[in-house]
Structure 1
Amino acid sequence: MIDLASAHFPVGVAIGVAAAAPVGPINLLVIQRALGGERGAALLLGLGGALGDAVFAGVAAFGLAAVMRMLDVHEGLIRIIGGIVMLVFAVVIWRAAPRLGVIRSRSSAPRMAAAVFGMTLTNPATLFFFLGSFGAVRFAGIGHDTPLHLFNAGLVVAGVFLGSMLWWVIVSWGAMALRGRITDGHLVVLNHATAIVLALFGVVAVYLGVTA
């Protein structure tokens, strides 16, 4: 069996994808640029979001380390809280009703990328998502200031950035390939699928916390 807590980079990638996947303003902006044939601009917008996710992941990974040193004996509680946070996000994402026509912008791609970066950093829900996800997984090797543990935290952050950027690549290329065929209904299905996956992770985290 694979120990997810020690698989820092690949689990970081998965968390990065999960953070970027819910269809919100950033996804809509990227999709709209791609549907307009601007693949490069769409990827640039995605880069802004991925950098924002990486910043929050870094705050969670390195900041959470100090907290986890003090609360190491409360591993079960950390898992339960993280699982509950993920379940709350799952409900919010499930109830969202994304619309392709809601956001329109004629701003330049670099300016929009900077705006996307700022949009990500000003959304505290993103930080709570990473804190909940990292707490639920309870990464091994994060919680001390030794070089190895700091390196492990860096692997998680790098994984989050790659996972988030991977999502934007998939979205932009997919939107380009499906121009004229993507509807609001498809966005709802994507949100529901994302919510189900998050809910499953949340339930498992709560179960592991209760049984710890």
Structure 2
Amino acid sequence: MEDLQRGSTIRRLISSCIKDDYYISASLIHLYMQCGDITNAQLLFDTTTTKKHYQCYIKNNQPNKAIDLFNEIKNPNEIIINLLFNACAELRTEEALNLIKKVSQDMSKSFYSNPHLLTSLLDALIKCSDCSNAEIVFTKITKSIIHYGSLMNGFNKENNPLKTLHLFNQMKLDGFVLDLIIYLCVLKALSKIGDESICQSIVKQIPYSFLVDNNIQNALIDMWIRLK
């Protein structure tokens, strides 16, 4: 607590030069994180030039520059790593995937308790076509319907429809209320499996309000055509 108070005092004294000096801001962010003051760590990071650069690069479709910036930073905190995963998700290359794996393996174990970081890691792995490792991350997070949909979509892209159906069944067991996106993922998986009895069984489970949706109808047409 005493260290945290000293850090806050120092921040007030040098507030005018923090935002443009990475080393000062990074040190203070690290102090806040070590003392468990996540709120002030996030607030400070939100004002720094580093974050603005990251966001600018990602927003302007320049993820390579965001990665170059990451490589210049020693001992990146979880906020920086989160932005790195976002940049890698935009690149979707083998090099980006290798960096994701390396950083996720090397980062502090405590970072795995950060749900936002894990969600970004999951998204990056899926978009870089590594659903095997994404599936491992998936087991460690508090799951939402968005997480399920993302992984289902990834399995479909990797031509692994049976795993999509497994997730569908798991969602029902866990009591999730399934939405339109989930049913679209399931129908796409069914079109790849080509088992008429399974198709009929699942189509019967789709609520009528979804059956009248154009996207669902198109997915159904595609599925039935592939069965013939």
Fold-level similarity (TM above 0.5):
no
- Structure number, greater radius of gyration: 2
- Pick 1 or 2: higher relative contact order, CA cutoff 8 A, min separation 6: 1
- Give the TM-score category using the shorter length: under 0.3
